[in-house]
Amino acid sequence: MPHSRSLLRMALRLTPDRSTAEDLVQQTLLLGWKGFDGFCAGTDARAWLFRILLNVFYARGRKIRTAPVIIPLTASEDTAGTHGRSSSVLEAVDLTRAFETLHVDYRTVLYLNVVEGFTCRETAEILSVPIGTVMSRLSRARQAFRAWFAADDARPRVSAVELRAKEIR
C-alpha cells in the first residue's frame, strides 16, 4: 500500500504499542478507501491519509495514550546488539525518551515536519490548525528538546557495559 510505512511510523510515534499502531494504520487505510469519493483530485493524497490517521487517533481518545506498554520478558534480544554499536544505540534511546516526553501536539508537529518532511503549511492543513499554531508548536518542541538535552548532563545515563551486565545476570 502506498504511504503505509510512513503512516505506521507516525502511528508508532502517537502510541507506544505496535499492534495498536498497526490497527490505527489499518483503520486509516480502510476509511481512506471507503471515503475515496471525498478525496479532491489534484491534492496531496499522503497529507489526506495523515489527516485521516490523526482523526482516527483522536477519535480513540485517551484509551491509546493511557494503555500500558507491553515489555517483553526476555531483554536479551533487545540488548544483545549493543556491544558493537553502544553509543549509537544509547543516543537513539536518549532521543526516543526526549521525544516521548513531549506533549502529543508538539510531538505530532515535530514528527510531521522533521521526520516526514511536510512543510509548515502542509502540516497546518493536515492538523486543521492555523500555520502560526504549527510554527509555535514546532518552536516549543525544539525548545523542549534543547532543554531536555541540556539537562542530560545531570541525568544518570546507562552505559553499554551496564546493559551487558544486566543481561548476564
In tens, the pLDDT along 87-134 reads: 666 677 777 788 888 888 898 898 888 888 889 999 998 889 999 999
The pTM of this model reads: 0.53
Domains of the chain: 4-65 (1.10.1740.10), 76-168 (1.10.10.10)
The cell for 66 is 493511557
Measured from the Cβ of residue 1, the count of other Cβ atoms closer than 10 Å reads 11
Query: CA-CA distance, 168 to 8, in Å (whole number)?
Result: 34
In tens, the pLDDT along 28-61 reads: 888 887 877 777 777 777 888 888 888 888 877 6
The cell for 22 is 498497526
